[in-house]
Amino acid sequence: MLHPYTPRIELNRTSDIPLHVQISEPIERAIIAGDLTAGTVIENEISMAHRLKVSRPTARRAMQTLVEQGLLIRRRGKGTIVAPKPRHRLLKLSSLNEELRRRGQHPTTHILAYNVVPATARMAQRLDCVAGTPILELERLRYRDGEPIAVLYNWIRADLAPSYGDLEQRGLYELLRESGTIIASTTQAVTAEKPSRRHAKLLTIPTRQPVLTINRTAFDETGDIVEWGIHTYRGDLYTYESTVFAHGEHA
Protein backbone atom coordinates (compact mmCIF):
# COMPACT_ATOMS: atom_id res chain seq x y z
CA MET A 1 0.00 0.00 0.00
CA LEU A 2 1.33 3.46 -0.89
CA HIS A 3 2.16 5.78 1.97
CA PRO A 4 -0.35 8.59 2.48
CA TYR A 5 0.56 12.04 1.19
CA THR A 6 2.09 14.09 4.00
CA PRO A 7 1.78 17.80 3.23
CA ARG A 8 4.79 19.99 3.96
CA ILE A 9 3.38 22.68 6.19
CA GLU A 10 5.18 25.29 8.25
CA LEU A 11 2.89 26.83 10.84
CA ASN A 12 3.27 30.40 12.03
CA ARG A 13 1.79 30.29 15.51
CA THR A 14 2.05 34.07 15.94
CA SER A 15 0.07 34.81 12.77
CA ASP A 16 -3.50 36.10 12.75
CA ILE A 17 -4.32 33.36 10.22
CA PRO A 18 -5.96 30.42 12.09
CA LEU A 19 -3.94 27.22 12.22
CA HIS A 20 -6.63 25.22 10.41
CA VAL A 21 -6.42 27.66 7.48
CA GLN A 22 -2.62 27.42 7.45
CA ILE A 23 -3.05 23.63 7.17
CA SER A 24 -5.83 23.49 4.57
CA GLU A 25 -4.53 26.10 2.13
CA PRO A 26 -1.26 24.35 1.09
CA ILE A 27 -3.24 21.15 0.42
CA GLU A 28 -5.84 23.13 -1.54
CA ARG A 29 -3.12 24.75 -3.67
CA ALA A 30 -1.48 21.38 -4.38
CA ILE A 31 -4.79 19.88 -5.53
CA ILE A 32 -5.77 22.84 -7.71
CA ALA A 33 -2.28 22.93 -9.26
CA GLY A 34 -2.61 19.25 -10.17
CA ASP A 35 0.26 18.15 -7.92
CA LEU A 36 -2.12 15.71 -6.20
CA THR A 37 -4.13 13.42 -8.45
CA ALA A 38 -7.57 11.98 -7.82
CA GLY A 39 -7.46 9.05 -5.42
CA THR A 40 -4.32 10.19 -3.58
CA VAL A 41 -4.66 9.24 0.08
CA ILE A 42 -4.06 12.12 2.48
CA GLU A 43 -2.40 11.75 5.87
CA ASN A 44 -5.05 11.11 8.53
CA GLU A 45 -6.03 13.71 11.10
CA ILE A 46 -4.46 11.90 14.07
CA SER A 47 -1.09 11.66 12.35
CA MET A 48 -1.33 15.23 11.09
CA ALA A 49 -2.21 16.62 14.52
CA HIS A 50 0.70 14.75 16.12
CA ARG A 51 3.21 15.74 13.44
CA LEU A 52 2.23 19.42 13.35
CA LYS A 53 1.69 19.62 17.12
CA VAL A 54 -1.88 20.89 16.85
CA SER A 55 -5.10 19.63 18.37
CA ARG A 56 -7.11 16.94 16.60
CA PRO A 57 -10.10 19.30 16.20
CA THR A 58 -7.80 21.76 14.39
CA ALA A 59 -6.57 19.09 11.97
CA ARG A 60 -10.13 17.78 11.53
CA ARG A 61 -11.43 21.25 10.73
CA ALA A 62 -8.73 21.78 8.10
CA MET A 63 -9.64 18.53 6.38
CA GLN A 64 -13.37 19.17 6.67
CA THR A 65 -12.94 22.54 4.95
CA LEU A 66 -11.44 20.75 1.94
CA VAL A 67 -14.19 18.12 1.99
CA GLU A 68 -16.83 20.88 1.95
CA GLN A 69 -15.07 22.50 -1.03
CA GLY A 70 -15.29 19.22 -2.94
CA LEU A 71 -11.50 18.81 -3.04
CA LEU A 72 -11.36 15.78 -0.71
CA ILE A 73 -13.74 12.92 -0.01
CA ARG A 74 -13.86 10.47 2.88
CA ARG A 75 -13.95 6.78 1.94
CA ARG A 76 -14.59 4.03 4.46
CA GLY A 77 -11.60 1.72 4.57
CA LYS A 78 -9.42 4.13 2.60
CA GLY A 79 -9.48 7.31 4.62
CA THR A 80 -9.50 10.78 3.09
CA ILE A 81 -8.57 10.97 -0.59
CA VAL A 82 -8.34 13.59 -3.31
CA ALA A 83 -11.69 13.84 -5.07
CA PRO A 84 -12.09 13.30 -8.82
CA LYS A 85 -12.07 16.62 -10.63
CA PRO A 86 -15.72 17.65 -11.01
CA ARG A 87 -17.19 19.17 -14.14
CA HIS A 88 -18.27 22.08 -11.97
CA ARG A 89 -16.60 23.36 -8.84
CA LEU A 90 -17.92 26.12 -6.64
CA LEU A 91 -15.51 28.94 -6.06
CA LYS A 92 -14.34 29.37 -2.52
CA LEU A 93 -16.08 32.29 -0.86
CA SER A 94 -13.63 34.33 1.13
CA SER A 95 -13.36 37.80 2.56
CA LEU A 96 -11.15 40.52 1.09
CA ASN A 97 -9.02 40.19 4.22
CA GLU A 98 -8.31 36.52 3.40
CA GLU A 99 -7.73 37.27 -0.30
CA LEU A 100 -5.07 39.86 0.48
CA ARG A 101 -3.29 37.63 2.98
CA ARG A 102 -3.19 34.76 0.48
CA ARG A 103 -1.47 37.10 -1.98
CA GLY A 104 1.19 37.95 0.58
CA GLN A 105 -0.21 41.44 1.19
CA HIS A 106 -0.94 43.04 4.55
CA PRO A 107 -4.58 44.01 5.15
CA THR A 108 -5.67 46.43 7.85
CA THR A 109 -9.14 47.68 8.70
CA HIS A 110 -10.51 50.94 10.06
CA ILE A 111 -14.10 50.64 11.29
CA LEU A 112 -16.09 53.71 10.30
CA ALA A 113 -19.44 52.61 11.77
CA TYR A 114 -20.61 49.77 14.02
CA ASN A 115 -24.23 50.41 15.01
CA VAL A 116 -27.04 48.08 16.03
CA VAL A 117 -30.34 49.46 14.75
CA PRO A 118 -33.89 48.12 14.24
CA ALA A 119 -34.37 46.83 10.70
CA THR A 120 -36.13 49.26 8.41
CA ALA A 121 -38.62 47.96 5.86
CA ARG A 122 -35.87 47.96 3.21
CA MET A 123 -33.39 46.13 5.46
CA ALA A 124 -36.04 43.59 6.45
CA GLN A 125 -36.80 42.90 2.79
CA ARG A 126 -33.12 42.49 1.87
CA LEU A 127 -32.34 40.29 4.88
CA ASP A 128 -35.67 38.42 4.85
CA CYS A 129 -36.41 39.25 8.47
CA VAL A 130 -39.13 41.03 10.43
CA ALA A 131 -39.01 44.83 10.49
CA GLY A 132 -37.57 45.95 13.81
CA THR A 133 -35.19 42.98 14.10
CA PRO A 134 -31.85 44.18 15.57
CA ILE A 135 -29.41 44.63 12.68
CA LEU A 136 -25.75 45.55 12.72
CA GLU A 137 -24.91 48.34 10.29
CA LEU A 138 -21.22 47.99 9.58
CA GLU A 139 -18.96 50.24 7.54
CA ARG A 140 -15.23 49.55 7.16
CA LEU A 141 -12.34 51.03 5.25
CA ARG A 142 -9.97 48.28 4.14
CA TYR A 143 -6.30 48.97 3.45
CA ARG A 144 -3.78 46.94 1.45
CA ASP A 145 -0.19 47.48 2.56
CA GLY A 146 -1.23 50.81 4.05
CA GLU A 147 -3.14 52.06 1.00
CA PRO A 148 -6.97 52.30 1.03
CA ILE A 149 -8.50 49.77 -1.36
CA ALA A 150 -12.21 49.41 -0.46
CA VAL A 151 -15.15 50.82 1.47
CA LEU A 152 -17.25 47.93 2.79
CA TYR A 153 -20.87 48.32 3.93
CA ASN A 154 -22.57 45.29 5.48
CA TRP A 155 -25.89 44.67 7.16
CA ILE A 156 -26.21 41.51 9.26
CA ARG A 157 -28.51 40.27 12.02
CA ALA A 158 -27.08 41.44 15.34
CA ASP A 159 -27.23 37.93 16.85
CA LEU A 160 -24.85 36.68 14.12
CA ALA A 161 -22.52 39.67 14.09
CA PRO A 162 -18.87 39.41 15.20
CA SER A 163 -17.52 41.87 17.74
CA TYR A 164 -16.02 45.26 16.93
CA GLY A 165 -12.57 44.12 18.02
CA ASP A 166 -12.64 40.95 15.92
CA LEU A 167 -13.73 42.87 12.82
CA GLU A 168 -10.79 45.24 13.22
CA GLN A 169 -8.44 42.28 12.87
CA ARG A 170 -10.14 39.77 10.57
CA GLY A 171 -12.61 39.32 7.71
CA LEU A 172 -16.37 38.99 8.18
CA TYR A 173 -16.76 35.64 6.38
CA GLU A 174 -13.80 34.17 8.24
CA LEU A 175 -15.32 35.16 11.60
CA LEU A 176 -18.75 33.87 10.60
CA ARG A 177 -17.24 30.48 9.67
CA GLU A 178 -15.53 30.24 13.03
CA SER A 179 -18.81 30.92 14.83
CA GLY A 180 -20.53 28.15 12.85
CA THR A 181 -22.26 30.21 10.15
CA ILE A 182 -21.11 28.96 6.75
CA ILE A 183 -21.64 31.17 3.70
CA ALA A 184 -22.67 28.60 1.09
CA SER A 185 -23.59 30.88 -1.82
CA THR A 186 -24.07 34.48 -2.88
CA THR A 187 -25.92 36.47 -5.48
CA GLN A 188 -24.19 39.63 -6.59
CA ALA A 189 -24.24 42.42 -9.11
CA VAL A 190 -21.01 44.10 -10.21
CA THR A 191 -20.97 47.60 -11.69
CA ALA A 192 -18.33 50.15 -12.68
CA GLU A 193 -19.24 53.69 -11.71
CA LYS A 194 -17.90 57.02 -10.52
CA PRO A 195 -17.40 57.27 -6.75
CA SER A 196 -19.32 59.58 -4.50
CA ARG A 197 -17.31 62.48 -3.08
CA ARG A 198 -17.16 60.74 0.27
CA HIS A 199 -15.92 57.46 -1.22
CA ALA A 200 -13.37 59.31 -3.34
CA LYS A 201 -12.05 61.05 -0.23
CA LEU A 202 -11.88 57.79 1.77
CA LEU A 203 -10.15 55.97 -1.09
CA THR A 204 -7.88 58.96 -1.86
CA ILE A 205 -8.84 59.05 -5.55
CA PRO A 206 -10.32 61.75 -7.80
CA THR A 207 -14.08 61.64 -8.33
CA ARG A 208 -13.54 61.01 -12.05
CA GLN A 209 -11.69 57.74 -11.39
CA PRO A 210 -13.99 54.69 -11.75
CA VAL A 211 -14.65 52.33 -8.87
CA LEU A 212 -16.00 48.80 -8.85
CA THR A 213 -19.15 48.28 -6.77
CA ILE A 214 -20.35 44.83 -5.74
CA ASN A 215 -23.87 44.48 -4.32
CA ARG A 216 -23.95 41.06 -2.65
CA THR A 217 -26.42 38.94 -0.68
CA ALA A 218 -24.95 35.92 1.11
CA PHE A 219 -26.83 32.73 2.03
CA ASP A 220 -26.08 29.93 4.47
CA GLU A 221 -26.30 26.18 3.79
CA THR A 222 -30.06 26.16 4.41
CA GLY A 223 -30.70 29.02 1.98
CA ASP A 224 -31.34 31.65 4.66
CA ILE A 225 -29.91 35.13 4.11
CA VAL A 226 -26.95 35.86 6.37
CA GLU A 227 -25.86 39.31 5.24
CA TRP A 228 -26.26 41.98 2.60
CA GLY A 229 -23.31 44.08 1.53
CA ILE A 230 -22.35 46.90 -0.80
CA HIS A 231 -18.60 47.04 -1.38
CA THR A 232 -16.80 49.77 -3.33
CA TYR A 233 -13.29 49.00 -4.61
CA ARG A 234 -10.64 51.16 -6.20
CA GLY A 235 -10.53 50.20 -9.86
CA ASP A 236 -6.77 50.70 -10.08
CA LEU A 237 -6.00 48.40 -7.15
CA TYR A 238 -8.61 45.65 -7.35
CA THR A 239 -9.48 43.17 -10.09
CA TYR A 240 -12.68 41.14 -9.92
CA GLU A 241 -12.22 37.59 -11.20
CA SER A 242 -14.74 34.81 -11.76
CA THR A 243 -14.73 31.42 -13.46
CA VAL A 244 -17.53 30.32 -15.81
CA PHE A 245 -17.91 26.66 -16.79
CA ALA A 246 -19.48 25.41 -20.02
CA HIS A 247 -20.56 21.80 -20.44
CA GLY A 248 -22.68 19.33 -22.37
CA GLU A 249 -24.57 20.30 -25.48
CA HIS A 250 -24.52 23.93 -24.40
CA ALA A 251 -20.73 24.13 -24.57
How confident is the model over 71-104, as pLDDT tens digits? 888 887 778 998 876 443 444 455 666 666 666 7
Q: Are 174 and 98 in contact (CB under 8 A)?
A: yes
Is the model's pLDDT at 129 over the cut of 70? yes
* pLDDT above 90: residue 227: yes
What's the pLDDT tens digit per position in 112-125?
999 999 999 888 88
Domains in the chain, start-ordered, CATH in brackets?
19-82 (1.10.10.10), 96-234 (3.40.1410.10)
pTM greater than the 0.85 cutoff:
no
Percent of the chain with pLDDT over 70: 85
Output the CA torsion sign for 146, 160, 60, 52. positive
Task: Give the CA radius of gyration of the chain.
Answer: 20
CA 246 to CA 154: how far, in whole Å?
A: 32
Mean per-residue pLDDT for 177-183? 85
Q: Give the span between the Cα atoms of 180 and 169, in whole angstroms.
A: 19
